[in-house]
Amino acid sequence: MIKLVELEVKCFTLKYTLECGQCFRWDYIEQEDVYIGVIHDRVIKIWQKANMIYVESNNEENLKNVIQEYFDLYKDYFILESKISKIDTNIYESLKHSSGIRILRQPLVEIIISYIISANNNIKRISKSVNLISQRYGDRISFDGKDYFLFPTLEQLKSVTIEDFLSTGVGFRARYIKNTVEKLIDNSQILEKLKDATTEQARQILLEFQGVGTKVADCILLFSIGRSEVFPVDVWVKRIMEKLYFKKNTSMEEILAYAKEHFREDAGIVQQHLFYNVREGNI
């Protein structure tokens, strides 16, 4: 049974939000101009026309709230964007190409593992691996005559070996994933603790996982638990920060200090606009 939810939205661009590199499992279906993906335990088909979004799912229960939570629709991005557009002209210009990006609130376990996979990797291959892990170990859901797969639970990942992970194309990160799954199962409190902790406390907890350094930790903090003040710096963000603000090769410490001072509590969303636009060749 397919149910539909309609929502009026402000300052939300579905395309930018799903294609800006923060998520790895949404497919664009060109013929229908829709996106299909999985949020937690349900399949979601979503599309946008002007300021309306339309949602279908295999599971109607609480669907509207799930969508609002996932796409951060409770937050007023109109106010947020007008605020950051005043920081400097780089951000003002950048926003012209990417207004409506929302920072998603994605499932924590999926994001921890996805971003461990992201290290020294490319987005296509990250997607491929995360999808393979879901297909092999997650629950199958039929929707619209097709099969979709949930990201596996920790219980489902428990018996997956390093060799199994290797065969999903994650390379040297296989042992980090295995180790992280074990750690999460052994410390069942840790996920709740992460959500309740201060950002700095949460970062320290994440840094204890193998395969999680400062950049991956900040991605988890930003793309899953809404810590909007963090500023993940990968090779793309480093390059564009050097180009726009420093005009020379610059250390990570200096870039982070600059972001903290100038972008402050909104560094995360600024970072995502820069990341999207530098990759699109807009800036």
Partner DNA sequence: TGCCAGGCCTTCC
Partner DNA sequence: GGAAGGCATGGC
Binding site for DNA (CB under 7 A): 20-22, 118-126, 128, 166, 169, 171-172, 176, 209-217, 219, 223, 232-237, 271-272, 275, 279
CB of 194 to DNA, least distance (A): 16
Nearer to DNA, 123 or 257 (CB): 123
> 61-88 burial by CB neighbour count: b if 16+ within 10 A, else e?
eebeebbbbbbbbebebeebbeebbeee
Cα–Cα nearest to 170, from 122, 137, 216, 215: 122
CB of 124 to DNA, least distance (A): 4
CB of 267 to DNA, least distance (A): 11
Bridge partner list, 35:
28, 46
* Contact between residue 103 and residue 267 where contact means Cβ atoms under 8 Å apart: no
Nearer to DNA, 58 or 94 (CB): 94
* Contact between residue 199 and residue 187 where contact means Cβ atoms under 8 Å apart: no
DSSP letter (8 states) at residue 173: G
Nearer to DNA, 59 or 131 (CB): 131
CB of 31 to DNA, least distance (A): 21
Nearer to DNA, 89 or 120 (CB): 120
* d(C-alpha 60, C-alpha 41), whole Å: 12
CB of 280 to DNA, least distance (A): 12
Which H or E run includes 275? helix 267-280
Nearer to DNA, 59 or 99 (CB): 99
Cα–Cα nearest to 153, from 176, 185, 175: 185
Separation of first and last alpha carbons in the chain: 45
* d(C-alpha 130, C-alpha 157), whole Å: 13
The pair phi, psi for residue 138, each rounded to 5°, is -95, 165
Cα–Cα nearest to 58, from 131, 137, 149: 149
Nearer to DNA, 9 or 206 (CB): 206
Nearer to DNA, 144 or 200 (CB): 200
CB of 122 to DNA, least distance (A): 3
CB of 246 to DNA, least distance (A): 17
* Contact between residue 228 and residue 217 where contact means Cβ atoms under 8 Å apart: no
CB of 102 to DNA, least distance (A): 12
Nearer to DNA, 149 or 165 (CB): 165
* d(C-alpha 132, C-alpha 135), whole Å: 5
